[in-house]
Amino acid sequence: MKFALLVAIVAEDLEEKAIEVARQAGAGGMTIVSARGTGAEEKKTFFGLTYQGSQTVVICILEKKLSLGVMKALTEDLDLKTHSKGVVFTVPLEHLAGIDMRQIESFAEQIREEI
């Protein structure tokens, strides 16, 4: 079984929706990290201070084919294709240790259902 690391970086106000969409698409456990970021163009705010938007980083390890489905669901349901609302990507994993065997069984069951 091949695995991928899925990373979704979304605006903080989309955090709960991102978690729900990922779960519905088949993601199990996730790591949620609060972050700050800047865009290509700095936004000026009151008294000349630069705004750094708050983001949430959602990280999960998924079976490779399942990761594409979760990525597609996040992209569509969170409307990530417009107005820089976020980014989602996957990275292939070569080696993995410590994953719960129940999670691997869950991935296998989801793959069987697709076939």
Q: Are strands 3-11 and 43-44 parallel, antiparallel or unpaired?
A: unpaired
Q: Report the CATH number at residue 95.
A: 3.30.70.120
Q: Among 70, 67, 71, 59, which residue's Cα sits nearest to residue 32?
A: 59
Q: Is residue 45 part of a domain?
A: no
- For residue 113, pLDDT over 90 is answered with no
Structure tokens at 34: 């609060």
Cα dihedral 115, 79, 56, 95 sign: positive
Mean pLDDT value of segment 14-40: 88
**Residue 59 included in any domain:** yes
* Number of structural domains found in the chain: 1
Domain that holds residue 109: 3-40+50-114
| Per-residue confidence (pLDDT) for residue 100, from 0 to 100 | 74
Query: What pLDDT is attached to residue 85?
Result: 79
pLDDT more than 90, % of the chain: 43
pLDDT of 33-48, one tens digit each?
A: 998 876 666 665 666 6
Residue 15 lies in a domain: yes
**The pTM of the whole model exceeds 0.85:** no
Which residues, in sequence order, are bridge partners of residue 43?
A: 51
Tell me what percent of the residues of the chain surpass a pLDDT of 70.
84
